[in-house]
Structures are given as structure tokens and as C-alpha cells.
Amino acid sequence: MKNLFYLYCILLLFSCKEKDIFNTPELVVDFETIQEFNYVKVLNRLRNAVKYDLDYGDGTKIIADTTLHNLSLGVIINWDGKHYYKKDGNYTITLTGYDKNGKSKTVSKQIVINYVNQNSPIADFSIELLDDGVVKMKNLSKNYSSLEIGTSVGNWGYNTNVENPTFIFDMNGKYTIRLTANGAFFDYKSVEIDIKNTVNRELGYFKGEWLGKQIDVSESFDHQTVTEYMDIAGANKYLLLKNIFYRDTNSIELINFKVKSDSLKTNEMKYEQIKSKFKLGIQNSDDWAVSFYLPLVSSKKKSIEILEIKEVPQRKIIPEMYDKAFWITYKINADFESIGKIDGILKVRYLIY
């Protein structure tokens, strides 16, 4: 009888161990949400899950292996970060967890997004085409904190800080007027216009030797000379004229180191600098960089002479543009050695804006 009692105890002991060893830990699936504006954070609370699916209810779904993130140990993490909804509405967030045996549990919660419509900026404007290349733009945007307005002019573009600008174009052609409305989000609108009623401005040109060939080429609407204030390695900003002559991959760039534009805060100051720094005659080569573009190679053997300086009225393409410009005629000679020489007459316009 005593032996039977011991045998019963042994069988009971092994029965308990077998049950403990093969019992699958309980799969726990739950989550919390933190919601603000148009985004939600999902805090996953998973225990004994080897992977999970997270569905935000707007077509965005995440499938993740939890073993990399210790979620099987029951740690609460937020590795999915913020999820932004693009539209207002009711959304069902669904989390499904899976244990090592493939068993799954699913939990769903609903959220309401009511932020996008009332806080999204709407970019809109009207255009009035007047005579002689004049275009009036009226801002009709809503729910914005700031605007970015500009126009493309051939191969270049100008931005303006005026909310309802008037553009006065000086060449016939197709322009793009663009507006970006910024706020909690941003919205964008652009309109192409075709100017046919202005008198085309004078065109810059280059005549002479161009890398072994004699050429006579003028600006066009699509390839215009660009006045730019260039920042060199975060130091001084210099007056740069680029795309002076542009066909295929050929162009001249002229940099004048005498006009340091970083200290010129107004159009009047820029105007006075150009007027005082540009003088007729042979120029000091150290004050200039003549470059061949694509690839950009500075010429150390160069001669630059200013033949003519002409001050002219300038149409204000953007409201911030100065109403005067300079036409300067150069005689330039630059030896690019193996590439060839550039030797001829160059006439270009300097805009102030």
C-alpha cells in the first residue's frame, strides 16, 4: 500500500511538469493611442507575440517582427512613431498579434480626425493679363501662415514677397506664375501664361572666337543671361553673371570680385556699387573670374576690357526689381589651353533686385 502511494505521487509530479512544460504562454494583444492634430501615436502593448500587423485604417499597414524589439517580453514600445492622416474622418486602427504557434488575437479601436479641413491651406490666385506684358496677380489663398510667390522667366526664376504682385515682363514667351501657401500643411498652384503683347527687350550677345569657331549668338527667351549674387563657401557674396552664352553645354560665367554683395542690403546700394566699381578700360584680371561652364574651368590666362557702360530703364519683372539696369560691353580673351580660346565681344545686362 505504501508503494502504491509513492507511485501515485511520482505520476502526479510528472503530470504537473509535463503540463507546465508544454503550456503555451498567454498571448496578450492591446494598444493605446495618443492623438493630436492629424496624427496618432500607437503604443503597442504586446506580450508573448512574435509578430504583429498594425492597420491604421487609411490603407497604411505595418507588418513587424517583434523579436527585434523585445515585445515578446511585454515591453511597451512606440517604434512605429507618428502616423499622419491626410483626410478628416473616422478611422479604425486594428492591431493583430501572433504567438509562436501561429495563434492570433485582434484588437480594434476607433479614432476621429477632425483637423485637416479646417487647418489645410488652400493655394489659389487669379491672373489679369494687361497690355504691354503687364500681369496682375491677386492672392485668393486661405488658411495660410505664409506665401511663396514667383515666376519663371525662360531658364530662370524670380521670387517676390509681395502678396498681390504685378509682374512686368520684357520678353514675349510662356511664363509660369506659381504660389505656395504654407500652414499646418502646404498647397501649391501654378498657371502658365503666354505673353504676346510686349516689346522684346534688347538682347545680349557674343561675337568672336568660341573654342576654335567663329560665332555670333544672341540671348533667347529660353536662354537668358542671369544676374545672381553668389555665395562662395559661406564667405563673401559676389556679383555673378551666368548663362551669358548658352548653346548645348557651352556657357560663359563672369564673376566680379569687386562687388561684394553680402553687405548690399538695398537695390540702391547694389546700384551704386555697380556704377562705381565698373569703369571703362582694361580691367585688373585679379578682380574677375572668367569661366567655361560644363565643365567649369577657370582661366588663368585672361584679358578683360570694358568698352561701354550704359545705364537704362528696367521693367520691374517682380515688384522688388530696381527700375534701372546696366548694359556693359566687354572685350574678353580667355585661354582654356587644351579646351581652346574664347576671344570676342560680349554684351550683357546686369539686373538689380
Which residue, of 74, 98, 117, is where some domain finishes?
117
Predicted local distance difference test score (pLDDT) of residue 339: 79
pLDDT per residue of the chain (353 residues) written in tens, 0 to 9: 555 544 444 444 445 544 444 567 899 999 989 898 888 988 888 888 888 989 999 999 888 766 544 443 344 444 557 888 888 999 999 999 999 898 999 999 999 999 888 888 999 999 999 999 999 999 999 989 899 999 988 778 899 999 999 999 999 999 999 999 998 788 899 999 999 999 999 999 989 998 888 988 888 888 888 887 654 444 445 566 665 654 555 567 777 777 766 566 788 988 888 888 888 999 887 777 776 654 556 667 788 899 999 999 999 999 999 999 999 999 988 887 887 888 999 899 999 88
pTM of the entire predicted model: 0.68
Q: Indicate if 166 and 215 belong to the same structural domain.
A: no
Neighbouring residues of 337: CB distance < 8 A, sequence distance ≥ 6: 301
Q: What is the CATH number of the domain that holds 164?
A: 2.60.40.10
Contacts of 284 (CB under 8 A, 6+ apart): none
Cβ contacts of residue 206 below 8 Å, gap of 6+? 215, 216, 217, 244, 245, 252, 344, 345, 346, 347
pLDDT of residue 39: 86
- What is the pLDDT, as a whole number, of residue 22? 52
Tell me, what's the pLDDT at 90?
96
At 185 the pLDDT is 82
Number of domains in the chain: 3
**Residue 48: which domain range?**
23-117
Tell me whether residue 176 is in a domain: yes
Any domain includes 222: yes
Cα 275 from Cα 311, distance rounded (Å): 9
**End residue of a domain, out of 195, 227, 246:** 195
